[in-house]
A = this chain, B = another copy of it.
Amino acid sequence: MIDNLIDRIKELENPTVVGLDPRLHFIPEYIKGEAYEKHGKTPRAAAEIFLEFNKVIIDNIYDLVPAIKPQVAMYEQFGAEGIQAYIDTIKYGKNKGLIIIGDVKRGDITSTAEAYADGHIGRVDIEGELHEIYMEDSITLNPYLGYDSIEPYMDHCKNYNRGLFILVKTSNPNSGEIQDLEVDGEKIYEKVGKLVDKWGQSLIGKYGYSSIGAVVGATHPAQAEELRSIMPNTYFLVPGYGAQGAAAKDLKGYFNKDGLGAIITHPEELLLPIIKKNIKINLVKKNLA
């Protein structure tokens, strides 16, 4: 999976992924009106609106960025219809050649992790018949439960050419409450970072990076530089640019000397001008810093 992602990053000279975290309040009226008329102000309408909005975004960016990252919570909150919009967004993006990073942040014990893994990046087995359900190319995971909560995903990564991004240092203000606690002179996020790099060793591709990546928030440039050096084979998925306060100049330390090693999340809110006025897209580009 990581090789496909890097190939596209190189082709497009653009190491960004567009987040698809739709919220009704920022979606233009011209997209919302019809759905409300048909279905009222219902979860079904919200789900249709999200899918339509995402299609407009995808149509505008599919040949500029390598990947999209839908945040499942935004869809899940509207129940089954929301989940269907999440799945349909993924299908639409895949058909346009985009790589899909599902921001699901799941984390559970082995038997449960198997169900998540089968549904999201593998196949579910119904009496011997295999079905693909979500079809993300990669998903985010939470490491708090340890390796047996990650392991069920590893085989699917190998067998179906999928990947993971495991939370190491998140972008939110209280991320330090647990992640920055110090153990034998090392922070928890460093410990987790080393584990993630180790877990990924069996899935290293042609560029020297593993399909098992890490989430490292854009709001922590100092910690990112340090993590960069102790996780040489790990690709970073970097949220927190824009809305959460990180600026493009802070992002240099997330990359390696090869110009690779990180993909920056570009919030879709920054893309609203293209929806409203069809003006040129201002995406964070590679040589930003």
Interface residues of A (CB under 8 A from B): 21, 24, 36, 40-43, 45-46, 71, 73-74, 76-84, 87, 105-113, 115-116, 118-120, 124, 126-129, 131, 133-134, 142-149, 167, 170-179, 181-184, 188, 191-192, 195, 239, 244
The answer to whether B133 touches A21, judged by C-beta atoms less than 8 angstroms apart, is no
The answer to whether B174 touches A147, judged by C-beta atoms less than 8 angstroms apart, is yes
| Nearest 5 Cβ contacts at the A-B interface | A77-B119, A146-B174, A146-B177, A80-B84, A148-B174
In the complex, which of the residues B83, B105, B144 contacts A79, with contact meaning CB atoms closer than 8 Å? Answer: B83
Distance of A174 Cα from B192 Cα, bound (Å): 13
The answer to whether A106 touches B41, judged by C-beta atoms less than 8 angstroms apart, is no
Distance of A172 Cα from B151 Cα, bound (Å): 12
The answer to whether A112 touches B79, judged by C-beta atoms less than 8 angstroms apart, is no
Distance of A170 Cα from B172 Cα, bound (Å): 24
The answer to whether A144 touches B144, judged by C-beta atoms less than 8 angstroms apart, is yes
Which chain B residues lie closer than 8 Å to A143 at the CB level? 144, 178
Chain B residue nearest to A184 (CB atoms) is B182
A-B contact pairs, 26 of them (CB 8 A): A36-B127, A41-B126, A41-B129, A43-B124, A71-B108, A73-B116, A76-B115, A76-B116, A76-B119, A77-B116, A79-B133, A80-B80, A80-B83, A83-B83, A105-B106, A109-B172, A109-B244, A144-B170, A144-B178, A145-B172, A149-B174, A177-B195, A178-B192, A181-B188, A181-B191, A188-B188
